[in-house]
Structure 1
Amino acid sequence: MIGTVREVTPNVDAGTMLAGAQFIDAFTVEIGTAPVINAREACTRMVLHGPRWIDVLLRLRNILVTPFGLKKSGQGEHAPGGLIGLFPVLSETPERLVAGFNDSHLDFRIVVDVAGDAARRQATLTTLVRTNNLLGRTYLTLITPFHKLVARGMMGRIVEPAR
């Protein structure tokens, strides 16, 4: 059903996207036949037009990680494809966008895929995380429940981007 976000089995080559990833999940949403949406547009709608409560959580996260010296908003990363919100774009085709960055505590990637024929298109968000130390493992454990809520909330905005 169009607009319904479902958790699915990840379908990316984790070794290529982020070798050694210890966490990987994926969510998909049917986007129907509305104007053709490519991977960049899907990512932009998720990140820049997501629910306001996600913005609040991200601001809170940035405040809480400051004392630990963790990166905020992809700072200091080379982004060959520019930034979409806080995500540096690492590679991109019309069907797939890969964004993310490496930090002292963990490295992460998001992969946004848009696939299907004109009658049944869908977008999929895959998240991969590789922890680098105890702080990364602790951080991942603490944010995983929020991550799933945020991912679902963001995915819903691909079909209906207006706030």
Structure 2
Amino acid sequence: MRVDEITPNVDSDALLAGAQFIDAFRIATTDPGLDARHATEAMVARWPRWFEWLIALRNLLVAPLGLKTTGATEGVDRDMIGIFPVVSETPERLVAGFNDKHLDFRLVVDIAPAGSARSITATTLVLTHNWFGRAYLAVIMPFHRLIVPVMLRKVGG
């Protein structure tokens, strides 16, 4: 299954005003009943083991700095998909993400007709707040570019 990096086609100001980073990847699917929630659930249902190790290492390193290790907020009942809080949702678009001290991020999953198929687009937006956020983004970027296509392949086909 082919995943293409595409030019992002979202209103970044409405999703995360001031975002300094935005990218998008797309895959086709033949599932006519797929909606954005089910696509997102399939994307984050199971991570590759190498990614789980990276997340565990990340959480170990950032917890002492007071950064969030998941999007869950203690004492707040939120709709979550995996570690991501749902910000907004329609059948065609799900926006997930959270704000933290070093950066804010959004994952946008869009479902759209594409001829006889449907396309699934995953768009990531990031707004950094300080030098640590910029450094963190630089460190995770190579892994981000690997994991998003892996996530999309779990849905497409």
TM-score tier by shorter-chain length is over 0.9
| Equivalences for residues 91-130 of structure 1 within 5 A | 91-116=88-113, 119-130=116-127
Deviation at 1:79, TM superposition (A): 6.6
The answer for the alignment partner of 1:41 in structure 2 is 38
Residue aligning to 2:58: 61
* Structure 1 residue 75, shift from structure 2 partner: 2.9
- For residues 16-64 of structure 1, the C-alpha deviation after alignment (integer angstroms, 9 at most, x for no partner) is 00000000000000112x3521000110000113433222222222112
2:24 matched to which residue of 1? Answer: 26
Distance in 1 (CA, whole Å) between partners of 2:18 and 2:111 is 25
Structure 1 length as normaliser, TM-score?
A: 0.89
Q: Is the 8 A contact 2:72 2:84 kept in 1?
A: no
Q: Report if the CA contact (8 A) 1:79-1:90 is conserved.
A: no
Give the aligned partner of residue 156 of structure 1: 153
Residues in 2 aligned to 1:129 and 1:23: alpha-carbon distance in whole angstroms: 5
Other-structure match for 1:51: 48
Q: Which runs of 5+ in 1 are unaligned?
A: none
The more displaced of 22-31 and 68-77 is 68-77
Q: List runs of 5+ in structure 2 lacking aligned partners.
A: none
State the 4+ residue runs in structure 1 displaced beyond 6 angstroms.
Answer: none
Counterpart CA distance in 2 for 1:67 and 1:26 is: 32
The residue number in structure 1 matching 2:14 is: 16
For 1:50 and 1:126, how far apart are their aligned partners in 2?
Answer: 18
When normalised by structure 2's length, the TM-score is 0.92
User: Partners in 2 of 1:88 and 1:150 — Cα distance?
Assistant: 19
